[in-house]
Chain A
Amino acid sequence: MLTYVIRRLLLMIPTLIGMTLVLFVIMAASPGGVGASLRSAEGNMRPEQRREIEAYLKHRYGLDQPLYRQYLRWLNHVSPIGFKDVGPGWPASLPFGFKAVDLGESLQRRTSVLSLVEEALPVTLLLNVLSTPLIYVIAVTSGIYAARRRGAFMDMASGVTLIALWSLPVMCVGVLMLGYLANKDYWQSFPVGGLHDTVSDSMAFLPHWIGGHFQRGWLLDTLWHLVLPVVCLSYGGFAFLSKLMRAAMLENLAADFARTARAKGLKENVVVMRHVLRNSILPLITVGASVLPSLLGGALIVESIFSINGMGRLMIDAIFAKDQELVMSETYVIGIVSLLSLLVADLCYALADPRVSYE
């Protein structure tokens, strides 16, 4: 097991290098090149001035170096092993060894990428911590329910609903929710965006009554703001996983071991919960590995619609501004998380199914 994990971890290195290299080449080859973001940020200025500024920034961020050097410099920065103290014109005779990981500096925001990620990651994680369990709880229960009542009205109805949910684009649902559920002219039950109310700083922490008036409190206010984004983030996931769960359950319900279990006199509940469920959970684990990274980077649309400053919005802004360091380093972070979650999924396999072994 340990050898397997180490091997997988070591394999991550070339994968990450390949991934970022492809990204770097694409960005460098795009029209205007990397410097385009610097240029468009400066706008209405005298040309000599603009050139001076561009030259200053290019030098500051090492964009005046040949492309391969730019990439190697970035790679050296983000790697935990490498040359220390490498400035824009790095000589190769510097001490080599373990060093701090430096995610670089955003060209457009002129701040370290690390601080940007530090701000954005907790927000995105909060969204995921709420939506991932929701996805799985709904998917597993509705999958079991539908499979046990195969062909009944409820099965058909849930099947149609889930397919419908699965086909609805998030962009569309988000805007519709905003237009109906957060609009005073219709049913204004939810806030328009953000994570907190304007006056949330002066709220008490927990809900309570003051002079007969109910006050939401900071905690409830935050949860209330999270309802629409979390619904948007999760409906597609549980629609898909429910169908997957139902299919797996049906297959296993008809399997020999289920019949044997029934034949030896076990109650139907025990058969389903102990034998069938455990065997049917495997596909969910496989898919789960791909759900987590896509939730991390993929809250992109939802975050934009509901004005939440998470990783998705950071990424989309960076891409539009061609902010090379930010795009690269964010991809690097998301890449590491994706690869790790794939590894965790593979390990969960072994946990859920004793037949799987990595020895």
Chain B
Amino acid sequence: MENRFGVKDFVIFSLLVVMIVVGCLLMKQIDRQWDQLRSISSTLEDQSKDLRDVHDQLSRGVVVNENSGTGSASQNSPFGPNDPFDRIEASQKLSEYAKGDWLVTSLAGHVAKLTPLLSGDMYAQDIQGEILESLAVRNPDTLDWKGLLAKSWQISPDGLRITFQLRDGLHFSDGEPLTADDVVFSYSFIMNDKINCPRDRSAVERITSVTKTGPLEVVFAYKEPFFQAFDLAASIFILPKHFYSKFTPEDFNQSVGYVLGSGPYRMEDPIAWKPGKLIELVRNERYWGVRPGFNRLVYKEFGIDKARLAAFRNGEIDDFYSAAPEQYRDMLADPQLVARTQHFNYQDPLWGYRYVAWNEKRDDKPSRFADKRVRQAMTMLLDRERMVQQIELGYAVVATSPFSPAGKQCDPSIKPWPYDPDKAIQLLKDAGFAKVNDQGVRLAPDGTPFRFKLTYPSGSGNYDAMVLIIKDALAHAQIVVDPDPLEWATFTDRLENKNFEAITLGWGTGIEDDIYQMFDSSQMIAGGDDFISYKNPELDQTIEQARRTVADDQRMTLWHKAHAIIHEDQPYTFLFFPKHLRFVDARIHNVEVIKLGLNPLEEWFVPRLLQKYTQ
């Protein structure tokens, strides 16, 4: 009774809690002030450094180039004839163009790491692409290469050496100059075994050395001629040696947000970002090229797609990409939303295709699908146009091969196999599948019913619908399909062990795709991606020849030949290339569809009157 908790105790207890809470809030407030102070002082430091540099240059009597970095109208571009910024300069000449405002984008997932080389996810790579730069970029109009950090290059006749000349006056966002040393460092950093980047390391393994031959000249040497040799060199992000060489490999491997480069945007603090924090990039005011319009790029993470959509509807984010077909249709049906947004559906060359793969070998014996006629019949039994309409609601293109219809590898004269069940059944009869048993199931030449499992990754409504359509279509030819959904890890396990009859899945594509991995018979090895044991010596030869050919025209002829062989053989039934469905806020101007998808966001801008974020 004597230690009863009374009113007085309650008051004291409450006061204590209030004091602790106030103390915590106070600490938080001081923390915020400290952050602000630090950012102000680092800006001041940067500015005084720039002033000092300008002062030094002036006192030495150097004329500062009036054109560089301002993007101001000048017929003779300071970036030479192959100007990587011509499109940005054109957008900045538009009458309504204004600098300013922010672009708030969504991330449909979580970014765990921003440090280059360490992060594997797509979102981090997108963000790094705004901060870091490579030697060359694809010309969005022609898909050819255009120099970015490199102003020119020469490829040796045997294709084993590429010499790059860097532009003059390149520098990183902290003001330090970018030279050949940084290019050499970027390569040797990737090749350092202690750096946890096996993926990048194996990607550049064909490069034997990168050597500096002058302050602004480097030479890349290769083991053997390879059609993607230039792509390999051109797409390495150039890392600042003075920044990254500060860290030990262990520190670097453990880091999450060490990112500094020469690109149009930069992190406010190149080492401070932590997962879970908002990702904000600010314009690199020291950018050596043409500075883009947005003051800031903000990336917001969303846990579920409903939240991302709600945020877009509320105008909290400006870009809603990768909409599902149903979402896209529903959004188009909302007049208010359509009025204040712009929408796009386009063929993205990197988006890949869907297919059904027929396993040609089971238990070391040829399976039913080993006969080309059976595979052709399967393709003709599937109404791919209907699939496009029902599953993708029309936002897809029927595929004829693994090559994207947007790229040069695809031979546009090859048309998809027609939907023709009668002809398909005739082909099946020719192949010996003529009889049908009492239960109405077609019989194989050996008398067993034609019944197979169609394996697919579970958990996606899209695949479920597709498999049902396939089951339905094949039932018309008296073939029984048993859907076999599997969890992803089990699924990949089955692929590794080639333990399946038929699967349906998707592959990603590239601007120029290497199909060696999937269709060359050397890849039948355990764990290889020719998991259907498909073999055609003529195709093998064509693919291998194409990969060794450096000249574009000759190579494209070879890829067209490969396209024709694959089309005839139908190792996969190629279903369709889905389109990218995307909404962008109407406030953002100059957004357009180009060969590579949407034009880069450096070309986008917000007219003065529509600007929303003022800082």
Chain A residues proximal to chain B, CB less than 8 Å: 30-32, 36, 39-47, 49-53, 56-57, 60, 106, 108-112, 115-116, 119-120, 123, 175, 178-179, 182-185, 188, 191-194, 196, 198-199, 201-202, 205, 218-219, 274, 303-309, 313, 317, 322
A313 touches B303 (CB 8 A): yes
Contact in complex: A193, B307 (CB < 8 Å): yes
Residue of A nearest to B494 (CB): A31
Q: Say yes or no: A178-B303 contact (C-beta < 8 A), given A40-B492, A198-B298, A317-B110.
A: no
What 7 pairs between A and B have smallest CB-CB spacing? Answer: A32-B489, A309-B276, A109-B112, A31-B490, A36-B489, A304-B303, A53-B198
Contact of A205 among B29, B516, B613 (CB under 8 A): B29
Q: Please state if A309 and B508 are interface contacts (CB–CB under 8 Å).
A: no
21 CB contacts below 8 A, A to B, read: A31-B489, A31-B490, A36-B489, A36-B493, A40-B492, A47-B525, A52-B202, A108-B112, A115-B254, A178-B306, A178-B307, A182-B310, A183-B314, A185-B336, A192-B307, A193-B307, A198-B613, A201-B280, A205-B28, A307-B303, A313-B110
**By the criterion CB–CB under 8 Å, are A304 and B304 in contact?**
yes
Residue of B nearest to A30 (CB): B489
Q: Which residues of A contact B310 (CB under 8 A)?
A: 178-179, 182-183, 192
* Interface-central residue, A116, A184, A219, by most chain B CB under 10 Å: A184
Contacts known (A192-B310, A193-B307, A307-B301); A47 close to B529, Cβ less than 8 A: yes
Inter-subunit contact A46/B517 (CB<8 Å) = yes
Taking a contact as CB atoms under 8 Å apart, the answer to whether B104 and A198 are in contact is yes
**Contacts A40-B488, A305-B303, A306-B303 known; A110 to B528 CB distance under 8 Å?**
no
Contact of A202 among B113, B278, B316, B615 (CB under 8 A): B615
Please report the C-alpha to C-alpha distance between residue A200 and residue B392 in the assembled complex, in whole angstroms. 39
The residues of A that contact B199 with a CB separation of less than 8 Å are 42, 45, 53
The CA-CA distance from A32 to B492 in the complex, in Å, is 8
Q: A44-B507, A112-B254, A192-B310 are in contact. Are A32 and B315 (CB under 8 A)?
A: no
B311 within 8 A of A: yes
**Count of residues in B whose CB is under 8 Å from the partner chain:** 58
* Closest-CB distance, B369 to chain A (whole angstroms): 22
Q: A111 touches which one: B256, B278, B313, B316 (CB < 8 A)?
A: B256
Extra 17 A-B pairs, beta carbons < 8 Å, given A109-B113, A183-B310: A31-B487, A36-B492, A40-B488, A42-B120, A44-B517, A46-B516, A47-B523, A106-B112, A115-B256, A116-B275, A119-B276, A184-B314, A192-B310, A194-B278, A198-B104, A274-B4, A305-B303
B97-126 toward A: CB 8 Å interface, digit per residue (1/0)?
000001010000010110000101000000
CA distance A60 to B25 in the complex (A): 42
Verify B29–A194 contact, CB threshold 8 A: no
Which residues of B have CB within 8 Å of A108?
112
The listed residue (B298, B302, B523, B528) touching A193 by CB distance below 8 A is B302
- Kindly report which residue of chain B lies nearest to residue A183, judged by CB atoms: B310
A304: min CB distance to chain B, Å: 4
Q: How far is the CB of A330 from chain B (nearest CB, A)?
A: 14
A322–B102 Cα distance when bound, in Å, is 37
* CB neighbors of A among B490-524 (8 A): 490, 492-493, 507-508, 516-517, 523
Q: How far is the CB of A160 from chain B (nearest CB, A)?
A: 29
Residues of B within 8 A of A304 (CB): 303-304
B253 & A110 in contact (Cβ 8 Å cutoff): yes
Bound-complex Cα distance A45 to B508 (A): 10
User: Could you say which residues of chain B place their CB within 8 Å of the CB of A115?
Assistant: 254, 256, 274
Among A110, A304, A306, max chain B CB count under 10 A is at: A110
Measured between beta carbons, the chain A residues less than 8 angstroms from B304 are 175, 304-305, 307
Interface residues of B in 551-610 (CB under 8 A from A): none
A304–B493 Cα distance when bound, in Å, is: 29
- Name the A residues within 8 Å of B303 (CB-CB): 193, 303-308, 313
| Cα distance, A321 to B110, chains bound together (Å) | 13
Q: For the complex, is B300 an interface residue (Cβ under 8 Å from A)?
A: yes
A57 contacts which of B198, B254, B278, B336 (Cβ < 8 Å)? B198
Bound CA span A198–B490, Å? 41
A219 and B202 in contact (CB under 8 A), knowing A40-B489, A50-B527, A178-B306?
no
The distance from the CB of B606 to the nearest CB of chain A, in whole angstroms, is 15
Residues of chain B lying within 8 A (CB to CB) of residue A188: 314
